[in-house]
A and B are shown apart, each in its own frame.
Chain A
Amino acid sequence: MQDNSHTRVVVGMSGGVDSSVVALRLKQQGYDVVGVFMKNWDDTDENGVCTATEDYKDVAKVAAKIGIPYYSVNFEKEYWDHVFTYFLDEYKKGRTPNPDVICNKEIKFKAFLDYALELGADYIATGHYAQLTRDAEGHNHLLRAVDQNKDQTYFLSQLSAEQLDRVMFPIGDLVKKTQVREMAAEAGLATAKKPDSMGICFIGEKGQFKDFLKQYLPAKPGKMMTVDGEVKGEHAGLMYYTIGQRRGLGIGGDGVDNEPWFVIGKDLKQNILYVGKGYHNPHLYATHLSASDIHWVNTIDRGQDFHCTAKFRYRQKDTGVTVHLSDDGQQVTVEFDDPARAITPGQAVVFYDGNECLGSAIIDAAYNQQRELQLV
């Protein structure tokens, strides 16, 4: 076996089963493994207890079992400044941000990576479901996880080549998530049966999203109407709604048919939420989008215009697209092979070439032919 004992890998350990098995596998492969727990959000409850303390206890148990040193590091300030502030700003603009994408870009693969380098790390490793290979020229290739249902390349798509140079994803090659639990159980790790955490870290498991957002942003109720100007009711505040959303509109059947209603657009200036009937409402379909904040996971030049596939949100199949980069490379227009539904400003458009994730951009606007949709 290759001698890895002089390669120090700092593992971001969350107290969950995935990162536990990351540490385990690296240790088994002979690396100099160091576990570090990241605390990004002060979730202290009214009793002064925070779930981070419980998670850190699990990190301690697992690290002791595996036989690696473990530490913790606090990025509450960095998270607030770079992720949470961005998150609120996007909502203020009527967009639907993806904090996990930004958290990876700014915290897990930036603040944490910097910290790991200070500890003498050669690499950091996380429990993300993705694969990373390096070719003969030294280019990184970010590949979808073998278990496509768990693939998390969408969330990693804003990482730069420099960031990925220092990264390992030791469980992205597993065929099934259940294997992770089997390995953890076999090694007697305390987290083998711990449930997966859900949702965004600062909102918590149950995600009372409206209540959470209300604490930080004033809700401005307003009219809910069709594009023809027919008022269908009141909305609770534009920030609570996402393009394509069906639930929570409170519009009953109109007696004509029983087609459900969907959010099809927002007018921030007039504080109007536009709704339309039917899943396949034409207002939900776009032919292209514009996006900015472009990141490529390697520096391979694909030209200014090229065809590939894309995802516009996490749980979605790929769509064939043609990418047109602006001359300065700062803007991108993405043309769809077939009209795409519910393109949402604030979300990432992530580009793929087969199994390989190429990079992504943040969606600014969606269009149907020459007409801008959604008015966001």
Chain B
Amino acid sequence: MQEIYLDNAATTPMSPAVLAEMTDKMAHVYGNASTLYGLGREAHTVMENSRQVIADSIHAANDEEIIFTSGGSESDNTAITQTALARQDLGKHIITTAIEHEAILKPLKALEDQGFDVTYLPVDQQGRISLDDFKAALRDDTILVSIMMGNNEVGSRMPIHEIGEILKDHQAWFHTDAVQAYGLLDIDVQRDHIDMLSTSAHKLNGPKMMGFLYKREGINFPSFVKGGDQEKKRRAGTENVPAIAGFATAVKALTPAVKEARQAKYHDFKQYVVDGLTQHGVDFAVNGSLTGENLNHVLNLWIKGVSTYVMQTNLDLAGIAVSGGSACTAGSIEPSHVLTAMFGADSPRIAESIRLSFGAYTTQDDLDAFIQNVAAIVERLKHTSEVK
């Protein structure tokens, strides 16, 4: 019954073009892309055309630098774990940020248990790292730097170009998790000296369980998923050609002009929500910043005095989907490590914040409904607490 969807950073609906492309390919191009007969060659052609589209989208030097994976988590796990495995003789130091996605933090935790030394760069209250901190953390034995392009919870962007410039003459490989950024920014891996980059198709109206890892030519490590010789022995498993074609269709729609327009539109959306809540007298603050370098599809709000869980549940009952962080078993919400890094574990923001995120199909009506419902819920809760 969900009518209003404001959780596009979690996932997005597939676009009609993607649906049509995938339906067609599922029906007609069912061959295994590794086989030598006609059906296989046809699948192979579809896959390689898609690979080219995707390589072009990030200005990769050649299409062989794109490895199709099951998505962001696999790409991140591969980049982190396999780099450490391949380069441990050169050093055991890795640099990342405190606000990476769990798909980065968990593999790094596993590496720490194996004796690797990981530096977690702190962030300020806007969710940004400092380049000075980064320079100070960089060591001769640093083998990997993994810094997200933009954060999934608060939208803050990281100084990817500057880090790439610093690292281009250093042994450390530079990986960036671009899962949230890929649909909004014009990425140029050569300009920014990026060695590895992770993405996911379902964040940009493509299919789920689909993504790629960009791996610059010359970056070599053993396949994370071992088995057959697919993806030039860099990722075993029969390729999901319809999903790959759907991914390429989604990417093709995102020209630099489209991405720029979306960033501008989402910026206006953020401002609109902030203004609307202010006009309705809601006591709130933005976690992160409205201005400066951001992924504008994410707006994280501290609704003062209202627990995340209560607000999210009330909005759900009103037919509005927003994110309240990840719920663990039966009823408790894990405190956000991102908000904790920004504001400290004792901040009331940790337990009183929600994230909304915009997508291609978000309308101003959706925002109006959100604003009105939040205002009504806050008002009703004031009344409820008086009754109590």
Contacts and interface: CB of A to CB of B under 8 A. Distances in A.
B329 A37 contact: no
Q: How large is the interface on A (under 10, 10 to 19, 20 to 34, 35 or more residues)?
A: 20 to 34
Contacts of B310: 115, 118-119
Interface string B367-388: 0000000000000110010011
Q: Which of A37, A53, A74, A114 has the most CB of B within 10 A?
A: A74
Contacts of B117: none
Q: Which of A50, A69, A119 has the most CB of B within 10 A?
A: A119
Contacts of A39: 329-332
A118 B384 contact: yes
Nearest to A40: B331
B314 A118 contact: yes
A303 B296 CA distance: 68
Given A37-B330, A38-B331, A119 B388 contact: no
Contacts of A56: 329-330
A71 interface: yes
Nearest to B318: A120
Contacts of B317: 34, 69, 119-120
A117 interface: yes
Given A117-B388, A118-B381, A69 B330 contact: no
A72 interface: yes
Given A73-B309, A114-B388, A119 B314 contact: yes
Interface in B314-347: 314, 316-317, 327, 329-332
A69 B317 CA distance: 8
Contacts of A74: 330-332
A117 to B, nearest CB: 5
A71 B330 CA distance: 8
A120 B380 contact: yes
Contacts of B230: none
A185 interface: no
A52 interface: yes
A71 B317 CA distance: 10
Contact of B330 (A34, A52, A117, A118): A52
Q: Which of A73, A75, A118 has the most CB of B within 10 A?
A: A118
Query: By DSSP majority rule, is chain A's interface helix, strand, loop, or mixed?
Result: mixed
Interface residues of B, number: 16
B313 interface: yes
Given A73-B309, A114-B388, A120 B314 contact: yes
A76 B332 CA distance: 10
A53 B313 contact: no
Interface in B105-132: none
Nearest to B333: A74
B7 to A, nearest CB: 16
Given A73-B309, A118-B310, A120-B380, A53 B330 contact: yes
A117 B332 contact: no
Contacts of A71: 313, 316
Interface string A51-94: 01101100000000000010111111000000000000000000
A257 B155 CA distance: 83
Contacts of B329: 39, 50, 52-53, 56
Contacts of A73: 309, 331
B53 to A, nearest CB: 39
Interface string B210-239: 000000000000000000000000000000
A164 B153 CA distance: 42
Contacts of B331: 37-39, 72-75
Nearest to B381: A118
A117 B387 CA distance: 9
B310 to A, nearest CB: 5
Nearest to B380: A120
Contacts of B387: 117
A34 B331 CA distance: 15
Nearest to B310: A118
A150 B317 CA distance: 34
A55 B331 CA distance: 12
B313 A119 contact: yes
Q: Which of B310, B316, B331 has the most CB of A within 10 A?
A: B331
A130 B263 CA distance: 58
Nearest to A166: B387
A360 B313 CA distance: 36
Nearest to B307: A118
Interface in B169-224: none
B1 to A, nearest CB: 8
Given A73-B309, A120-B317, A50 B330 contact: yes
B203 to A, nearest CB: 26
Contacts of A53: 329-330
Contacts of B384: 114, 117-118
B107 to A, nearest CB: 20
Nearest to A74: B331
Contact of A72 (B314, B330, B381, B388): B330
Interface string A268-281: 00000000000000
Nearest to B327: A72
A72 B387 CA distance: 23
B88 to A, nearest CB: 30
B388 A69 contact: no
Contacts of B330: 37, 39, 50, 52-53, 55-56, 72, 74
B324 to A, nearest CB: 11
8 contacts: A34-B317, A52-B330, A56-B330, A69-B317, A71-B313, A73-B309, A74-B332, A114-B384
The 4 closest A-B pairs by CB, nearest first: A74-B331, A72-B331, A39-B330, A74-B332
Given A39-B329, A73-B331, 15 more contacts: A38-B331, A50-B329, A52-B330, A53-B329, A56-B329, A56-B330, A69-B317, A71-B313, A71-B316, A75-B331, A118-B314, A118-B381, A119-B313, A119-B317, A120-B380
Interface of B: 309-310, 313-314, 316-317, 327, 329-332, 380-381, 384, 387-388
